[in-house]
Amino acid sequence: MPVDTRTHETAARAALDAFLDALNSRDLAAWAETLHYPHVRVHEGEVTVWEDRDGYVERSAPELAQLVGSGWARSGWESVELSQSSPDQVHALVRFARYDAAGERTGSFDSVYVLTRRSDRWGVLARIGFRTV
């Protein structure tokens, strides 16, 4: 009998959207709450690992300040495809864009997000991506 993927995919997608909403709010504590730890990010040929929430907030503050200083106002999904899923893990192939205050797109990024369920809570465990435009 096939597994009904709708429930866990819906929950994983909600966690993915919560991640982006928290980033756009510029609230690092809220953003950190959308993740699971250790949290892994692979980008620009580097691997970054945050062991816990407090470390994420502390180490992400300069990056967020730099992003805001670059003219960034918000990010948005351009596409989301849930490519692989199980009741406890979902892989999302995403393209997101960054926008300035005038609503102009300043860049697009292709990424794979690994979302996992732990203790009945979905969160982003890992992000792998690169700039495309």
Stretches in the chain below the pLDDT threshold 70:
1-5, 133
Model pLDDT, residue 4: 66
Model pLDDT, residue 3: 58
The values of phi and psi at residue 104, to 5°, are -80, 135
* Global pTM value: 0.91
Side-chain half-sphere of 1: how many Cα atoms within 13 Å?
A: 1
Model pLDDT, residue 2: 56
* Token pair of 36 as six digits: 């699971």
Instruction: Tally Cβ neighbours within 10 Å of residue 80.
Output: 16
* Token pair of 60 as six digits: 């992400």
Among candidate residues 92, 98, 94, the one with its CA nearest the CA of residue 133: 98
In angstroms, the CA 65 to CA 76 distance is: 18
Among all chains, which residue has been given the structure tokens 């805001």? 68
For 114-131, how does the pLDDT look when each residue is reduced to its tens digit (9 = 90+)?
999 999 999 999 999 988
* Token pair of 2 as six digits: 């096939």
Model pLDDT, residue 132: 86
Model pLDDT, residue 6: 82
The values of phi and psi at residue 27, to 5°, are -95, 100
Model pLDDT, residue 1: 46
In angstroms, the CA 120 to CA 62 distance is: 31
Model pLDDT, residue 130: 87
In angstroms, the CA 89 to CA 108 distance is: 25
